[in-house]
Amino acid sequence: IRTPMHAVIGAQELLLKNSALNQHQRELLQSAHTSAASLLGMLNQVLDIAKIEAGKFTVEHEPVDLKQILFEINQTFFVYAKNKGLHLASFIDPSIADVLLLDPLRIRQILHNLLSNAIKFTEQGFVFFEIRILANDHAGQLLEFRIIDQGIGMAKEDIERVQMPFEQIRSHLSANNESGSSTGLGLSITNHLIGLMQSKLIIESAPNLGTSVHFVVAFSRTCHSIENSQRSPNASTHPLFKNIRALIVEDHPASRHILFLQLQTLGIHVDQCANGDEALMRLHDDLYDVILTDHSMPGMHGTELARKIRASGQRDIVIIGITADIYAKTSQSELIASGMNGVLIKPIRLECLESELLKHLHHHSSTTFIKPSVSSLCMSHLIVEEVLKVQLETLDALKETLSLDSLMSLIHKIKGGALLSEDQWLYDQCVLLEKSDAELISLQKSFQRILDTSNDRLRKQINAPS
C-alpha cells in the first residue's frame, strides 16, 4: 500500500534535481513533494494503528548502541528546531552502556514522535531532550527519557483525550493545520509502544506554559556484540580539523584540561587561558578559528567576552559557549544573543564536541566516530586528580571570610567539577547551597564540610587498585 507513495516521492525528488525548472515550477513541485512526504507519514501511522488493533504490533530485542541512536536523533532534531528558530538542548548520560538489548526502530519511533510534537507546538524558546540513568547494575540499566518544551501546552482535562486515536484538541489544531501532517495518532502509537516496553508515558502540561513528557524503561545488558553493519567506522581525525586553531577560555583547571585533551584527540591545535581578559590579549596577538568559552567565570563572563569579540569586528571566529546549567533556559538564550554560534552542555562527550565543531566549520556533519587517543580509564583518573586539586585550592580560599558573590562563584565552579567526575552527590549538594537562604557564615561552613567529605571520597578513588 505504501509502494505508490514511494514512487510518487521518488519521481518528485528526481524532478527537483532538474536544473531546467523555472522558479515557479520548482516551488509547485517542492510543495507537492512536501505534501506527499506528509501523506506517507500519515499513511504509516494509520497502518500502525491497524497493526495495534490486530495485535500484531511487537517490540524486538537486539544488541544496540543506544548512545549512537540518541546522538543521531539529537542531530536530526537540532537542525529541525534551528530551522524553526528554536534551540534544542540535550543531555545524554555518558554512562549509558555501550550495548543494550532493545528495539532500535521502536525507540526511534517513540522519540521522533515526542520530539516532533515538542517542536511543532513551540513557537519560541527551547526544547530539552535528556536521558538519565536511574539505576545501574550488572544485569541492566533503568533509563529515564524526558522531553520538555516551552510550547502552547494543554489543559489537564485534555491530556488523557489527546492520547486517544484520531483525537486532537482545539488549541493544537492551528499548529497541525500549518503542517498538514497530523492524524491525531502519534501520541496514541507512542503510548502503545511504551506500554509494550512495560512502561507508561507521563504527560504534565499547562496552557501557555509548555509540556513535559517522560517515561522510564529497563534495558538488559548483553555479552553479544553489535553487528558490524550497525557500528560506525573508527577514524582518527576529520580532515577539516587539520589546520584549525582553537582557544579554550575556562577558569576550572579540570574542565580546561579535559577539553584540551578532547580537542587534541580531534587533531586540533589548542591554546588555553583561564579568563576573558587573557583571552582578549591572546586574540590581539594570534589568530584563532574557534573560541570555546565557559559561561560563568569570575570577572568577565562568557557572554561579555563574546560581545567584546564581536564588537572588535571579528565576525568570522566561531564562538561556542559551555554551560553546566542544562535547565537554565534564559542563560542559553543569553549565550546565543551575545554573539555565540552554539552551546555545549557539560559534561561534553567527544562525539558531541566533534559534531558541534563540524556544524559551524563545515556545511555537513561528520559521519564517523572518533577513536580516542586517551583511554577512558586514563581520562577518568586525570579528571579525578584535577577535580581534587581544584577542591583543595577552594578549601584554602574558604579559610578567609568571603562575600556572597565570591562564595557562589566557588560553589558554581565546584558544581562544574562534579559533572566532570560524575559525582551526583556533590552536584546535588552544590545545587542545594545555591538555593539556600542561610546566613553567609553558615553557608560557608556547610560548603567546607561538603568539600571535606568529597575530597576524602576522591582520595579513595585515586588510591583504589585499578
**Residues 94 and 196 occupy one common structural domain:** yes
Domain extent for 166: 62-224
Q: Are 353 and 374 in contact (CB under 8 A)?
A: no
Burial 43-80 (b: 16+ CB within 10 A, else e): ebbeebbeebeeeebeeeebbbbbbbbbbebbbebbeb
The whole-number pLDDT of residue 228 equals 41
The whole-number pLDDT of residue 393 equals 85
- CATH no. for residue 81? 3.30.565.10
**Residues 110 and 200 occupy one common structural domain:** yes
The whole-number pLDDT of residue 277 equals 94
**Residues 180 and 271 occupy one common structural domain:** no
230 found inside a domain: no
Q: Give strand pairing partners of 141.
A: 136, 219
**Residues 66 and 205 occupy one common structural domain:** yes
The whole-number pLDDT of residue 13 equals 72
Q: Which amino acid is at 339?
A: G
Tally of structural domains, the chain: 4
231 found inside a domain: no
Provide the CB-side half-sphere exposure for 218 (13 A, CA): 8
pLDDT profile of the chain (466 residues), mean per 10? 64 73 83 72 64 70 88 84 88 89 88 90 90 86 93 82 59 47 64 87 88 91 57 51 90 81 86 93 89 90 92 87 62 77 78 84 44 46 74 86 85 79 80 86 89 86 70
**Residues 394 and 447 occupy one common structural domain:** yes
**Residues 288 and 210 occupy one common structural domain:** no
**Residues 255 and 398 occupy one common structural domain:** no
**Residues 66 and 214 occupy one common structural domain:** yes
pTM: 0.43
Cell of 187: 501520541
Q: Are 267 and 242 in contact (CB under 8 A)?
A: yes
The whole-number pLDDT of residue 54 equals 67
**Residues 93 and 45 occupy one common structural domain:** no
- CATH no. for residue 335? 3.40.50.2300
